[in-house]
Amino acid sequence: MKETYLITGVAGFIGFSLALKLLKKKKNIIGLDNLNNYYDIKLKKSRLKILLKFTNFKFLKTDLTNFKKLKNIFQKNKFSHVYHMAAQAGVRYSLKAPEQYIKSNINGFYNVLELSKLKKVKHLIYASSSSVYGANKNYPFSETSNCSHPIQLYAATKLSNEVMAHSYSSLFNLPTSGIRFFTVYGPWGRPDQALFIFTKNIIENKTINLFNYGNHTRDFTYIDDIVDGVIRIGKSIPKKNNQWDSKNPNPSFSKSPYQIYNISSNRRVKLTSYLKILEKNLGKKAKIKYLPLQKGDVPDVSSSINKIKSKLNYNPKVEVEIGIKEFVDWYKFYYKK
């Protein structure tokens, strides 16, 4: 029988992009999302419209926190893989609405874990975040780096997911892989993210706020490179590993079937340079208001992707010059600008 994958957060930026790629590979996908209004629901519905053209796709509007409904879905379908991309995303919003993060990212994640265990899912792949590196400034961030100092609740919930997953991998032998994404961008991106806001404001002649005076650095990662990495990880089901040394514990794997991976472009870019490339593509200068660092923001992020490169042959391909152009083309097409 053909395997069925569950993708949660399928109407979201990454969940949608992952689903589209897997549907083109003829995989059977059930997608779940609560279609919340954290950002424009029209964009989520437009993404879904594309997915619904595939006969191997089925959408279920469900909230992760509804255990009964979720259990019913797991009971009716035998999922081999669960790609858990749903979450309350966004660093800054976690200072305004912390309860959303506890609901979706902690309670919701517990429900997914528990049902993946009960229904003996072959592999639970879930989204973590580079924000788990928190106050750590020992660059580049590797999966073996210390992550015990998250600096906002969003990061704390993502780190909690990793430790919750480990407990299930350890107790119930549930294979889990946590993926730390580094600033993802590209077509169909999220309206609360810098590239989206900058593009919209430049086109509409509005001022953009550049926090930390534009000195942020990020490993901006193009969506196709993210999807490629997630699919590679999905295929590599973690096994028990007796080489793990409990006297010198490496946090990136375990003697249980558990793995943690970074996925990034591995190219650190300053926010002001990112903005310059955008201005060039739009043929227009931004009106900029320079502001100090915001509470909860991590000023610099730089990653190591040695693990996914060596273990899974991952090789990110898209440079920001190309990726930003792709985003601008999509934005102008979608918003008819």
Ligand X SMILES: NC(=O)c1ccc[n+]([C@@H]2O[C@H](COP(=O)([O-])OP(=O)(O)OC[C@H]3O[C@@H](n4cnc5c(N)ncnc54)[C@H](O)[C@@H]3O)[C@@H](O)[C@H]2O)c1
Interface residues with ligand X (CB under 6 A) are 9, 11-15, 33-36, 44, 63-65, 85-89, 104, 108, 127, 129, 181, 183-184, 190
Least distance (Å) from ligand X to the CB of residue 60? 10
Least distance (Å) from ligand X to the CB of residue 149? 18
- Answer yes or no: are the C-beta atoms of 120 and 43 closer than 8 Å: no
Least distance (Å) from ligand X to the CB of residue 245? 29
Cβ proximity to ligand X, 36 vs 56, nearer residue: 36
Residue of 154, 168, 258, 314 marked active site: 154
H-run or E-run covering 6 = strand 4-8
Q: What is the DSSP string of 29-46?
A: EEEEE---SSS-HHHHHH
Least distance (Å) from ligand X to the CB of residue 38? 6
Least distance (Å) from ligand X to the CB of residue 126? 8
- CA distance readout (Å), 25 to 20, 54, 56, 144, 186: 9, 11, 10, 33, 21
Cβ proximity to ligand X, 18 vs 202, nearer residue: 18
Cβ proximity to ligand X, 21 vs 255, nearer residue: 21
Our answer to whether residue 133 is catalytic in this structure is no
DSSP 141: B
Q: What string of H, E and C letters represents the secondary structure of 209-264?
A: EEHHHHCCEECCEEHHHHHHHHHHHHHCCCCCCCCCCCCCCCCCECCCCEEEEEEC
Question: What is the chain's length?
Answer: 337
CA distance 7 to 16: 9
Cβ proximity to ligand X, 154 vs 168, nearer residue: 154
Please, which residues have CB within 8 angstroms of residue 132's CB and are 6 or more apart in sequence? 147, 150, 155, 158, 159, 162, 180
Least distance (Å) from ligand X to the CB of residue 183? 5
Backbone φ and ψ for 269, nearest 5 degrees, come out as -130, 140
Strands 217-218 and 269-270: antiparallel
- CA distance readout (Å), 289 to 201, 213, 218, 278, 284: 12, 8, 20, 17, 16
% helix, strand, coil for the chain, step of 5? 40, 20, 40
Q: Map tokens 């930390």 to a residue.
A: 212
Cβ proximity to ligand X, 72 vs 173, nearer residue: 72
- Answer yes or no: are the C-beta atoms of 119 and 74 closer than 8 Å: yes
Least distance (Å) from ligand X to the CB of residue 203? 21
Q: Which residue is nearest to ligand X (CB)?
A: 12
Cβ proximity to ligand X, 166 vs 180, nearer residue: 180
Cβ proximity to ligand X, 90 vs 287, nearer residue: 90
Beta bridge partners of 176: 124, 258
Which residues are catalytically annotated?
154
